[in-house]
Each structure stands twice: as structure tokens, then as C-alpha cells.
């Protein structure tokens, strides 16, 4: 199997922004890029509502035009297209299984409401064990995606939990930071035990001790990764507060935010945890969701 990156496209401005990001990422990884369109994508203003033959002609033309624009953006990048007759979430998750990474677009709603992921995106994330990156388009995206970067990369942020295994998200984050030559901020949100939080006369010595232990635990967790990726400048941030809120706050000004998603084998229950869910919908930066056991 030839390694490659995959991006889901549907002709919308959001998918064009995602495709542009995916093209830049493919160059960064020295991998081919595959554009995928699922014919059973919900009908919208970007897709025709006439018969199947007309819809197939439109999708083929859309894929060709998208690929041509990406070749202009990134000359020399190997790009292929694929039109699939299947429901989008199933098609995209199947395609992701053959790729190093799946890229999808999302639309900005407002600073308060965050970003619209949609049922297709959420279902795809839940069903995919490869990294899925959600690329943010602005609230009113233009027809043209952002220009190719000419300056250095900004920081990359990764959320960690010192009490849970997170090798997959950390491995992904360190690799991406090494490729970009950027700093990596490892963010761990912690809080005092409930009994101390409710104490009207808090013991500041105890609080300092708990904070110091959080710093030590984060440093211990990151030590092997620092040794494996010595070129990466790592900033450790053990912060008091909700992990989701701290990650969203740190995402401002970041190039990419990496969060983990625990793989659930049961068909029942939520397949995206509350922290990943909050970051997906409110981070202003692109978000990489990395599944792990």
C-alpha cells in the first residue's frame, strides 16, 4: 500500500480550505494527496439536486478543478481523486484506514458558538482510528483558500493527561513539531481535590505542593519524548483549570492543536470524550484528533 494523505471534499469553501491545508501537509510529509468525494453527501447549495448522472458529472468536475488548483499551489505534488458511492462517514473512515491522515473542513459560526463540525465529521471521527485533522475556515470563507505559508510555523499545542496513556497523541505531536521546526507546548490541566477546593481557608502550602507534583508528573511524562526528539523545543504547561478550557485558551495563536480520543469498542455511548469534543468545536486553530487505546 502506498502511503498518502486523504482529504474529504464536497465543493464547499470549507473543503477548499481543508484541501489547501492537506496539500501543504502532504508536502511537509513528502506524501501523495488523495481527494475523496462521497456521492451520498447531503445535498446543499454546493451540490446539484438533479439526477444521478448530472451529479456525477458535477462531482468529477469539482474533483478535477480542486486538484488542478492544488497543483498550482504545490507544483510537483502527486494528487489523485476518488469518487465513492457510499455514505460520507463510512466512505471517509474507510479511506482513512488506508491513509496516514484524514483531513476535513469545518465552518466558523461565531466566537461564542465556535465551529460547525456536522454529523458527517463527528461520525467520521468516531469511526476512524487514524489521525483526523479538522481545518478551520472563517465564518464567511472566501472562494480562495489562504496563501501558502512563507514565514516560520507557530507553536503546536498538545493536550496530555499524566494519569492516562497518551503515547499516540504525543508521538503525533512531536513528529509534527519536528517536521515544522516549531515549539511544542504540552498542556496539562489539573485541579485540587474536591475537599480542598471546598475549603473556605485554603492551605496555600498544600496548593503549592499539588502544583509542584503536577509539574513533576508532566516533566516525567515528557522526558522520553524529549530524548527521542531532541530538536523539538518543548514548553511544559501544567495549568490549574479545566483541561478543555486550557487547551482552547492555548490554541489562540497556535498552528495546530493535538488531542487524544480513546477508542471505544462498544457501539454504545459517546465515542468522543468531553475534552476532545470541546476543543473540536471551539479551538480557533486546526485540531488533530488522534485515537488511542
DSSP, residue by residue, 219-248: HHHHHHHHHH-TTS-EEEEEEES-HHHHHH
pLDDT score, position 163: 86
SS3 131: coil
What letter does residue 75 receive in the DSSP assignment? Answer: T
Taking the CB of residue 125, how many other CB atoms lie within 10 A of it? 26
| pLDDT level of residue 151 (50, 70, 90 thresholds) | confident
CA angle 26, 75, 14 (to 5 degrees): 55
Q: Is 29 helix (H, G, I), strand (E, B) or coil?
A: helix
What mean pLDDT comes out for the span 109-132? 73
Mean pLDDT of 97-109: 86
Reported as a pLDDT band with limits 50, 70 and 90, residue 112 is: very low
Q: Which of 71, 58, 241, 39 is nearest to 159 (CA)?
A: 241
Contact indicator for 116, 123 with CB cutoff of 8 Å: no
Helix residue ranges per DSSP H, the chain: 13-29, 52-73, 88-96, 118-127, 167-180, 194-197, 204-228, 243-251, 274-282
Task: Say yes or no to pLDDT of 145 above 90.
Answer: no
Dist. CA 47–CA 65, nearest whole Å: 14
Domains, in order of start, for the chain:
5-137 (3.40.50.620), 156-292 (3.40.50.12370)
Contact call for residues 84 and 91 (beta carbons, < 8 A): yes
Each residue's pLDDT tens digit, 225-273: 999 999 999 999 999 888 889 999 999 889 999 999 988 765 544 467 8
pLDDT confidence of residue 196:
52
First-last CA distance in the chain? 24
Which residues, in sequence order, are CB contacts of 216 under 8 Å at separation 6+?
none
Most confident of 108-122, 157-171, 223-237: 223-237
Q: What is the pLDDT of residue 49?
A: 54
Grid cell locating 155: 507553536
Per-residue pLDDT of 14-51, as tens digits, reads 899 999 999 999 999 999 999 999 887 555 545 555 66
Give just the sign of the alpha carbon dihedral 99, 280, 105, 136. Answer: negative
What's the predicted TM-score (pTM) here? 0.89
Residue 113's pLDDT band (boundaries 50, 70, 90)? very low
Is it the case that residue 120 has pLDDT exceeding 50? Answer: yes
User: Residue 247: exposed, middle, or buried by beta-carbon count in 10 A (0-12, 13-18, 19+)?
Assistant: buried
Each residue of 47-64: b (16+ CB within 10 Å) or e?
A: beeeeeeebeebbeebbe
pLDDT of 6 > 70? The answer is: yes
pLDDT digits (tens, 9 = 90+) for 164-208: 878 999 999 999 999 999 999 999 988 766 555 555 545 566 778
How open is the CA angle 261-265-271, to the nearest 5 degrees? 40
Q: In this predicted structure, what is the pLDDT of residue 117? A: 67
The pLDDT, as a whole number, for residue 45 is 45
Please, what is the Cα angle at 105 between 104 and 110, to 5 degrees? 145
Looking at per-residue pLDDT, the higher value among 184 and 84 belongs to 184
pLDDT bracket for residue 100 (50, 70, 90): very high
Amino acid at each position: 500500500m502506498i502511503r498518502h494523505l486523504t482529504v474529504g471534499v464536497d465543493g464547499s469553501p470549507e473543503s477548499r480550505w481543508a484541501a489547501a491545508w492537506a496539500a501543504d501537509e502532504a508536502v511537509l510529509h513528502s506524501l501523495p494527496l488523495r481527494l475523496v468525494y462521497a456521492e451520498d453527501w447531503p445535498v446543499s447549495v454546493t451540490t446539484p439536486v438533479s439526477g444521478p448522472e448530472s451529479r456525477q458529472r458535477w462531482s468529477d468536475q469539482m474533483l478535477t478543478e480542486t486538484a488542478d488548483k492544488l497543483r498550482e499551489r504545490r507544483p510537483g505534488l502527486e494528487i489523485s481523486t476518488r469518487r465513492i458511492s457510499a455514505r460520507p462517514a463510512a466512505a471517509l473512515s474507510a479511506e482513512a484506514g488506508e491513509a496516514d491522515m484524514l483531513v476535513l473542513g469545518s465552518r466558523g459560526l461565531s466566537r461564542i458558538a465556535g465551529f460547525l463540525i456536522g454529523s458527517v465529521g463527528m461520525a467520521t471521527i468516531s469511526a476512524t482510528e487514524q489521525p483526523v485533522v479538522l481545518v478551520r475556515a472563517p465564518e464567511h470563507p472566501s472562494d480562495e483558500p489562504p496563501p501558502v505559508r512563507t514565514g516560520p510555523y507557530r507553536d503546536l499545542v498538545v493536550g496530555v493527561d499524566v494519569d492516562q496513556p497518551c503515547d499516540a497523541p504525543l508521538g503525533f505531536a512531536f513528529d509534527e513539531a519536528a517536521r515544522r521546526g516549531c515549539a511544542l507546548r504540552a498542556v496539562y490541566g489539573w485541579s485540587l481535590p474536591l475537599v480542598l477546593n471546598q475549603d473556605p481557608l485554603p492551605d496555600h502550602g498544600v496548593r503549592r505542593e499539588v502544583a509542584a507534583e503536577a509539574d513533576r508528573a508532566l516533566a516525567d511524562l515528557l522526558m522520553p519524548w524529549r530524548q527521542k526528539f531532541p530538536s523539538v523545543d518543548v514548553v511544559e504547561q501544567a495549568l490549574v483549570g479545566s483541561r478543555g478550557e486550557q487547551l482552547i485558551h492555548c490554541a489562540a495563536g497556535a498552528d495546530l492543536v493535538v488531542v487524544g480520543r480513546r477508542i471505544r469498542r462498544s457501539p454504545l455511548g459517546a465515542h468522543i470524550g468531553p475534552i476532545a469534543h470541546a476543543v473540536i468545536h471551539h479551538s480557533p486553530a486546526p485540531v488533530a484528533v488522534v485515537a488511542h487505546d
